[in-house]
Structure 1
Amino acid sequence: MDLEKVFHMKGGLGDNSYANNSSLQKKVADMVKHITLEAIEEMFTATRPKSLGIADLGCSSGPNTLSNVKELVDAVENTNRKIQQPRPEFRVYLNDLPTNDFNTVFQALPDFYRELRKGRNDGGPAVYIAGCPGTFYGRLFPDNSLNFVYSSNSLHWLSKVPSGIYDEQGVSINKKSIYISERSPSGVPEAFLRQFQEDLSFFLKSRSEEVVSGGKMVLLLLGRSGPYHVDRNSYIYWEMLYQSLATLVSQGEIEEEKLECYEVNFYAPSKEELEEEVRKEGSFKVEMIDKFEQGIDIGSDGDKYSSYGQAVAKTVRSIQESMIAHHFGEGVLDKLFHQYARLADQEMAKQGLASTHIVLVLTRL
């Protein structure tokens, strides 16, 4: 499954599923907001560009997109007042796959600009925003055009399902799994790792030509806590999805052959794997890297659901819905995620549910 063929993997189908996913992503991004803002402030203080190029890679199309931009602009504006430099202009590039709903973002721009100008007598900063559709596994921008790159909840998606999990006849060797699991042959995690290394290397090489010397990148993605690939925080959500699909197979709702050929283009790396790939590519220095766990906090949304598992299922559905509908048909979605909610409640009762996230700050050498 090629990444370009997936319908907006970060969102979902419909406003409700999208809003849920956007809320979860914002909670995680807010946990590292201070790191992101410190990184752009440090970059601006050190390099002091007159025209500041910012790219949000995997921007999606919800309220998070422009709120992120405003926070970055405000951080630079505050820093600029301290160092008393002429106000820079901002060139902001919003990137996602061509199937992303960029129109939703553009329709929100008048309110965004009004908010920027609020309480200012000088008209506010000059911020020029453009959409840039395409995969970030390749070049997107002109040489030396970016000073700061931000990407949240995107780089754990691979460009494609690893070819190494298929035999010579094109049949998956990863039987009874849709991701790396305890049932997977040893060649499966190796294939996923190779694909991740290839993709990340291509990502870094592409950005190295676009980011100026001294420019920074802040990357936030799902990861795992250690070297063992079957890390509960990274595989349990996929395992529950497989078990839910298998239940529908047993009920005659899904063909077994359909399930056996369904794989996900996802990989949760370790800190060490990320650091090693950055070192090997050689264009960036790791300024900081950290990992943290985040439980799925349903917060005030909890009143909408009959159980915690239902809230978890809603979140996962918002991420996977379009891919599942494309492969199995939309008719299975409600039954599938009813099963998923039941399994999530069982897991919560046993050990709880959380996810592992990794944040990196890189500087272009």
Structure 2
Amino acid sequence: MDGGNGDTSYASNSIVQKLVITKAKPVVIGSISDLYTTNPSRCLRIADLACSSGPNTLLVIIEIFEAIDEICHQLNHNTPEFQTLPAFYERLRKEKGEKFGPCSIMGIPGSFYEMLFPTTTIDFVHSSYSLHWLYQVPPMVEIYKSNIYLQFQKDFSLFLSWRSKEIAPGGRMVLTMLSRRSKEPFGKECYFWELLSKSLNDLVSEGLIEEAKMDSFNLPFYMPSRREVEAIICGEGSFYLDGLEIFDINWDGSDDDDNKEFKFNRFISGQKVAKLIRAVAESLIAYHFGDAVIDVLFNRYVEYVSDHLSQEEGKSVNFVVSLRRK
């Protein structure tokens, strides 16, 4: 992600991620509420994996705390202890009152394709918009074959295996990721990446990027189908699949009512989409091709996206998966 708070930073261009968190909220709240009402605990241990920088960082945690606080009021219980940020806890105490449970903090740097927490110490795990990013680009000659799915299968299975060791029996996990409805791995749901590829190829034609550099560039990114996700969960075997919901969002993070305002000016939406993609992909692109091409590349990308949106809608498919530890 692009750091800082500038015009192209992730913090300034994460409206899509916020929209996805909002859309997934009913599943998250339903899962955490079921967990707590089924097994009330003095200490509720929550892990938000790969939570973002910027305004979305504590968004899910706030929603979880509010849900638990409401349940505790209904049951006439004191809220449990939480692990969180001290300053954030002080804010909650002011808002919720002195009966709000104590909080502590633990930050864990590392890859979630490895073990992060001691065995059976976590009650609830959340991850949003992280698992469609692969651990690495698959080592292969042709990425547009089955190998990229095999890499996702390996990565997602490994993720589930490590979390199964860390989550207590009966614990919950909610995962949200970009996905697809079609059988084709690189169908229309991935078209925003195809437009970026076209932009890069333009720069190759104009001599701004070496063809060999282009041939060796692949994003470690995969959008799975429902059947693939369900098969991996079933095959790994550590979790019950409580539910899998699907929803669409607009590429630019607007809702459908907002989009009506842009039907005569898709260039505005194109600029938004370009900033969103740049915020998450610039560091990877700059590392491979150099910083000099970035502005030219994304100016070209705006043109392609705007042209596409003038002809048809740009929609992304999302899965929110609710799991329960066996």
Q: Same fold (TM over 0.5)?
A: yes
Of the three residues 22, 27, 50, the one matched with 2:14 is 22
Deviations 1:207-229 (A, max 9, x none): 00100111100000000013222
Using the TM superposition, give the Cα deviation of residue 140 of structure 1 relative to its aligned residue in structure 2, in angstroms.
0.4
Tell me by how many angstroms 1:71 deviates.
1.5
Larger deviation, residues 117-126 vs 58-67: 117-126
Distance 1:63 1:90 in 2: 21
Which residue of the partner structure matches residue 305 of structure 2?
Answer: 344
Distance 1:298 1:196, change over 3 A: closer
Q: Matches of 2:37 and 2:251 in 1, distance apart?
A: 36
- Asked if 1:228 corresponds to 2:180, the answer is no
Q: Secondary structure, in 3 states, of the residue corresponding to 1:64?
A: coil
Q: Answer whether contact 1:117 1:124 (CA < 8 A) is retained.
A: yes
What is the rounded CA distance, in whole Å, between the counterparts of 1:196 and 1:355 in structure 2? Answer: 19
2:175 alignment counterpart: 219
**What are the within-5 Å matches in structure 2 for residues 266-345 of structure 1?**
266-297=221-252, 299=254, 307-345=268-306
Once residues 48 and 321 of structure 2 are traced to their aligned partners in structure 1, the CA distance between those partners, rounded to angstroms, is 15
Where does residue 28 of structure 2 map in the other structure? Answer: 36
Distance 1:121 1:150 in 2: 26
Deviation at 1:120, TM superposition (A): 4.3
1:354 is aligned to 315
Aligned length: 318
Change (3 A) 1:350 1:120: closer
- Mapping of residues 75-114 of structure 1, within 5 Å: 75-92=67-84, 110=87, 112-114=88-90
Listed one character per residue, the Cα deviations across residues 286-338 of structure 1 (whole Å, up to 9, x for unaligned) are: 000011111134558999x9532111111110110110111111111100000
The offset of 1:198, in angstroms, is 0.6
**Is 1:206 matched up with 2:162?**
yes
Contact 1:20 1:314 in 2 (8 A): no
Letter aligned with residue 236 of structure 2: E
Is the contact made by 1:217 and 1:362 (CA closer than 8 Å) also made in structure 2?
Answer: yes
Structure 1 range deviating more: 224-233 or 276-285: 224-233
User: Please, which moves more after superposition, 56-65 or 19-28?
Assistant: 19-28
The amino acid across from 1:207 in the alignment is R
TM-score scaled by length of structure 2:
0.92
Selected match of 1:116 from 58, 75, 92: 92
1:70 aligns with 2:62: yes
Unaligned runs of 5+ in 1: 1-10, 93-105, 167-172, 175-179, 181-187
CA contact (8 A) 1:149 1:216 kept: yes
The DSSP-based 3-state class of the residue aligned with 2:115 is coil
Cα deviation, 1:172-197, whole Å, max 9, x if unaligned, reads x35xxxxx4xxxxxxx2x10111111
Per-residue CA distance 1:10-52 (angstroms, 9 max, x = gap): x314423213432210011101111111110100111112111
Structure 1 window deviating more from structure 2 (12-21 vs 140-149): it is 12-21
Does structure 1 residue 195 correspond to structure 2 residue 151? yes
Assess if the C-alpha contact under 8 Å between 2:123 and 2:171 holds in 1.
yes
Other-structure match for 2:2 = 12
State the distance in 1 between where 2:250 and 2:62 align: 27
> 1:61–1:364: structure 2 CA closer, same or farther, 3 Å change rule?
same
Structure 2 unaligned segments of length 5 or more: list them. none
TM-score between both structures, scaled by the size of structure 1: 0.82
Is the Cα–Cα contact under 8 Å of residues 139 and 207 in structure 1 kept in the other structure? yes
**Alpha-carbon contact 1:225-1:291 (below 8 Å) kept:** no
Amino acid at match of 2:22: D
* Residue 143 of structure 1 pairs with residue 119 of structure 2: yes
Deviation at 1:155, TM superposition (A): 0.4
What's the counterpart of residue 48 of structure 2?
56
Paired residue secondary structure (1:292): strand
Percent of aligned pairs with the same amino acid: 38
Aligned in 2, Cα 1:13/1:121: closer, same or farther, shift over 3 Å? Answer: closer
3-state SS of paired residue (1:133): coil
Deviation by residue 1:135-166 (Cα, 9 ceiling, x = unmatched): 10111000011000000000001100112x22
Match of 1:355, SS state, is strand
Structure 2 counterpart of 1:313, one-letter code: A
Contact 2:13 2:279 in 1 (8 A): yes
SS in 1 for 2:101: coil
- 1:75-126: CA deviation from partner (whole Å, max 9, x where unpaired): 112112222334311125xxxxxxxxxxxxx7xx52x234202244416321
- 8 Å CA contact 1:271, 1:290 repeated in 2: no
Q: 1:238 aligns with which of 193, 196, 203?
A: 193
Q: How far apart are the structure 2 equivalents of 1:277 and 1:28?
A: 23
Residues 298 and 204 from structure 1, CA distance in 2 versus in 1: closer, same or farther, beyond 3 angstroms?
Answer: closer
- Cα deviation digits, residues 54-81 of structure 1 (max 9, x gap): 0001112212112221211121121122
